[in-house]
Amino acid sequence: MIIKKFKNCGLVPRFLFAFCLSNIKFLMRIKINMEKLRVHSGHKLFGSLKVCSSKNAILPILAGCVLCNGEITLLNIPNFSDINKMCEILKSLGCIVNYFNGVLHINSKNVDRFLVENSLSKDIRASIVFLGALLGRMKRCVIGQPGGCLIGNRPIDLHIQGLKALGANIYEEHGYLYCNGENMRPCTFKFEKQSVGATQNLILASVLLKGKTTLKNCAKEPEVVDLVNFLKSMGAKVSGAGTGTITIYGVDELHSTIYLPIGDRIVAGTYLTACAITGGNVEICNINPNHLSSVLKKLSFCGCQLCIKNDKIKLLANQRCKSLKSITTGVFPKFPTDMQSIFLSLMAISKGKCVITEQLFDGRFKQVPDLIKMGAKIDTFCNMAVVTGVENLSGADVSATDLRAGAGLVLAGLKADGYTTIDNVQYIDRGYDHIENDLSILGAEIERIT
């Protein structure tokens, strides 16, 4: 109707109308990118919060949905932008995807495409696991390069080596990976180094491959175990997840399932650390404490009191935290790199000096200049940061450079005099479902502004 009306107008209004229509998406994106978080310090955190299912568990599970010739229901699913992007890829492959109130339904009966457009793959690292899943289902895949947070060099050589060992023919042209899996067969493959994504990719590529595949030097992260549990709930035969050796016996097909992914250990760790920073007493629910053991140990060394019962962790912080002598990131069960960005803020306001060594990604100190702007004392040398704790930070306008760095700045803002404004919130939204709502439930003064 409106379009008809405009057809009868002059050329200029018609041009303006067309211009507005074509730019509405662009303008909406600018609006989202203009959103900021404003944090006011001075509030201790109290209360109880249930964390959502883990982003890094859900993303490979979503890729795994294309292996199923049926319907999948996933529970307790948060509204993270990375999850929405994976759902867009599923739709582009022929899946029907519906999300309502934390429940995600995926019907993958009609998957009939094997192309993941660059426009869909480039924003998200986990898009690379569609490679294994599509080789498993369609025996071929054409996929754009993966993107994701700029936390340093993120190669995919281990993924490619493993898939080639399974017999996939892979070459790169015009920014796309062209993969033919018609001659794929089971094998024994040892990863040169542990990689979460590469382990998940190889598992996804093997579950429908007749025979026995053995993967060695696998990543042991809970998110790998959860992917395997999800696949097993659809009838896959996989053993050894959580150890260095995973064995997969290919089955003919995977059936429908209803699955509840594990709670998000990094979101849980973020809110516990927030309480350590502000002081207070919080309870975080829906989290397996074993998934956070290295983090809980560090929080306890800092002087926090912890009480752990089943899937609940209570943290009491009634004094300024003591600095840790050192934090060194590593693969599970060592200290997670994602929590390093969060602990950088805790160490910035703790009593003493801490040396942080980042072993996984070379771009994980990007928030340091902003923390220094807020009054932190931090020196960085290559993959190390020496943090001398100060009693208080001061609020400033800062910018999220990636998901966890952004969350770290929010936490620093909770202990910074006055207001801290954090822009580039879209990075934080990749892995927290409105972080301001969760922190407000715990008593923080934080709001989203434009």
Which spans of this chain sit near ligand EPU (rule: CB under 6 A)? 56, 59, 125-126, 149, 151, 153-159, 193, 195-198, 219, 221, 223, 336-338, 360-361, 403-404, 431
CB atoms within 10 A of CB 357: 15
Pick between residue 151 and residue 208 the one whose CB is nearest to ligand EPU.
Answer: 151
**What's the rounded Cα separation, in Å, for the pair 405 and 407?**
5
67 vs 158, which CB is nearer to ligand EPU?
158
State the Cα–Cα distance between residues 85 and 79, nearest whole angstrom: 11
- CA gap 92, 73 in Å, rounded: 19
User: Which region holds residue 47: left if phi is over 0, alpha if psi is between -120 and 50, else beta?
Assistant: left
> In the structure encoding, which two tokens stand for residue 409, read together?
């700045």
**Closest to 403 measured CA to CA, from 341, 336, 314, 324:** 341
Give the nearest distance from C-beta 326 to ligand EPU in angstroms: 19
- Tell the smallest beta-carbon distance from residue 277 to ligand EPU (Å): 20
275 is catalytic: no
Token pair belonging to 209? 């491959």
CA distance 140 to 142: 7
The residue number with the shortest CB distance to ligand EPU is: 197
Say if strands 397-399 and 353-357 run parallel, antiparallel, or are unpaired: unpaired
The CB-of-63 to ligand EPU minimum distance in angstroms stands at 10
Nearer to ligand EPU, 223 or 433 (CB): 223
Q: How far apart are the first and last CA of the chain?
A: 33
Given the complex with ligand EPU, which of 281 and 341 has the nearer CB atom? 341
How open is the CA angle 81-87-93, to the nearest 5 degrees?
Answer: 145
Residue 203: CB minimum distance to ligand EPU, A: 13
Q: Which value, to the nearest 10 degrees, does the dihedral of the CA atoms of residues 112, 116, 120, 121 take?
A: 140
Whether 153 and 83 have beta carbons less than 8 Å apart is answered as no
- From the CB of 392, what's the least distance to ligand EPU, in Å? 28
Handedness of CA 257, 260, 264, 265 (dihedral sign): negative
User: Is 421:446 a contact under the CB 8 Å cutoff?
Assistant: no
Contact 174, 133 (CB under 8 A): no
The nearest distance, CB 400 to ligand EPU, in angstroms, is 12
| Shortest Cβ 102–ligand EPU spacing (Å) | 20
Q: Choose between 295 and 403: whose C-beta lies nearer to ligand EPU.
A: 403
Nearer CB in complex with ligand EPU: 102/330: 330
Dig out the tokens for 93 from the structure.
């492959």
Given the complex with ligand EPU, which of 224 and 321 has the nearer CB atom? 224
The alpha carbon of residue 336 and the mean position of all alpha carbons in its chain are separated, in whole angstroms, by 12
Per the residue annotation, which of 87, 95, 141, 149 is the catalytic one?
Answer: 149
Q: Which burial class, exposed, middle or buried, applies to 310 when counting CB atoms under 10 A from its CB (0-12, 13-18, 19+)?
A: exposed
User: Which residues are catalytic, by number?
Assistant: 149
